[in-house]
Every structure is written in structure tokens, then in C-alpha cells.
Amino acid sequence: MSLAREKERLIQELKAIGAIRSKPVEEAFRRVARELFLPEHLRMYAYMDTPLPIGSGQTISAPHMVCLMNEELRLEVGHKVLEVGAGSGYHACTIAEIVAPIDIDRSLWGHVWTLEIVEELADYARCNVEKAGYRDRVTVVHGDGSRGLPEYAPFDRILVTAAAPDIPHPLIEQLKPGGILLVPVGRPYSTQILVKVEKKADGRITRKNLLDVIFVPLRGEYGW
């Protein structure tokens, strides 16, 4: 089967299991070529719903996790988004499709900053982002994302794609009122809980446990 057909089949599957629930998340998944973010010998598996190795002991997240997180983030055109854990750069580009769609005026575009602690992966992600055509909408930064990115804060949305011992407080501080933060919390190499933090308009913080997940460990100052 061609990758295009496999992708359409996977989209139907992701809708059936409830990982895709809205048109923008579906279209973003359709538009970003996941194969471009994989090492060459793994490209044929691009549309299997599984994480895959990308080097340095790290993985690109499974499609259902990317879509599910994008749904929970309630992304909107114009949002400023911070991702901690660029990995391949794939997830950041699916977000850029929603916050900065190519067919609207650039002045309305949001932006995605994605942080990666492993230098080789930051280079890999940057290269993938360029190849896939997102260089104006996604900025890859090499550094410890557990401290956030104060230079560009505050953000409308923040997501962490590695498991933290607890919610890193700089990320809560760098969230705008009305903002949403998603972060997997729990021990490395076991199941963790995906936590959704919302900062209400009055600055009040709410915390909700969404579901069990498995992510690679978050490193750095507020990591393991």
C-alpha cells in the first residue's frame, strides 16, 4: 500500500479511537509528511501508530499521542506555542499547521518554539523542519527546556513531550492567563500521567489528570 493510502487509513483509525476529534487536528496530521522526520530506513513505517527511534536513544511520538495532545491543547490561529522536547521536529510542525496555516495572511500567524537538549537532535529537528517547509513557523532551540524559554514568554500553549518528576514551575510562570500546559508526570521507563494545567483568566491554576502515557524522561534542571 502507498504511504498516502496508509496515512488515510490511519486517520480513520485515529478518528475511531477518538485521538482525532476535530477538523483542524485531522488536517494538520494530513498535511505534515511524518516520513520526512524519520531516518530513511524507517520511512515505510511512517503511518503505523507507533513511536519510532530517531537516534540518541530518543523516539518520535506515536501519531495517536500527537493528535490527542493537539486536541487537548485547543490550538487556535495566532497562538504562541512552546514545545519542550523537539526530537524529530514533527510534532512542532503539526502544531504550526494549526496556529500558522500557510493560506492565511502571515501577519496573523502564530509561532512554535521547540526546545531540544541533545545538540545532534536539535540539528536533526532543524534540518527536518526546513525540509518539510516550516522554517518560518517553527524555531528549534538547543537548550534545557525544563526551564522554559523566558526570552519569548509568555506562551498561549506549552507542551512537554518527555516525562517530568513534577510540573516544572517555570513553565507555569511562562503561561499566559487563559493558557494550557500539557506535561507527562511520573517515573522514567514506567507509565506516567499526562497532566493538563490551565491558567485561568484571573491567574488561578487548575490541574487535571488526563490519561496514562509513556514518554522518555525529561532531563535538565527540572527533569530527572
Candidates 35, 72, 97, 144: give the one binding ligand SAH (CB under 6 A). Answer: 144
Rounded CA-CA distance 91/151 in Å is 22
User: Is residue 223 near ligand SAH by the rule CB under 6 A?
Assistant: yes
Q: Measured from the CB of residue 14, what is the shortest distance to ligand SAH in angstroms? A: 16
Candidates 25, 36, 46, 218: give the one binding ligand SAH (CB under 6 A). Answer: 218
**CB burial string 21-51: b at 16+ within 10 A, e below:** eeebbbbbbebbbbbbbbeeeeeeebbeeeb
| Catalytic member of 2, 22, 56, 61 | 61
Q: Which three cell numbers mark 48?
A: 503505523
Please identify, among the stretches 6-14, 105-113, 116-124, 191-199, the one whose residues bind ligand SAH according to the rule CB under 6 A: 116-124
Q: How many residues bind ligand SAH (CB under 6 A)?
A: 25
What is the x/- site pattern for ligand SAH, positions 45-64, by CB under 6 A? -------------xxxx---
Please identify, among the stretches 4-12, 24-32, 86-94, 185-193, the one whose residues bind ligand SAH according to the rule CB under 6 A: 86-94
Three-class SS of residue 84?
strand
Candidates 35, 72, 97, 116: give the one binding ligand SAH (CB under 6 A). Answer: 116
Q: How many CA atoms lie within 13 A of 145 on its CB side?
A: 28
190 among known catalytic residues:
no
Q: Which three cell numbers mark 217?
A: 524522561
The phi, psi pair for 40, rounded to 5°, reads -45, -45
- Helices 63-72 and 23-31 cross at an angle (nearest 10°) of 140
Binding residues for ligand SAH (CB under 6 A): 58-61, 84-85, 87-88, 90-91, 115-118, 121, 144-146, 161-162, 216, 218-220, 223
Query: Catalytic site residues?
Result: 61
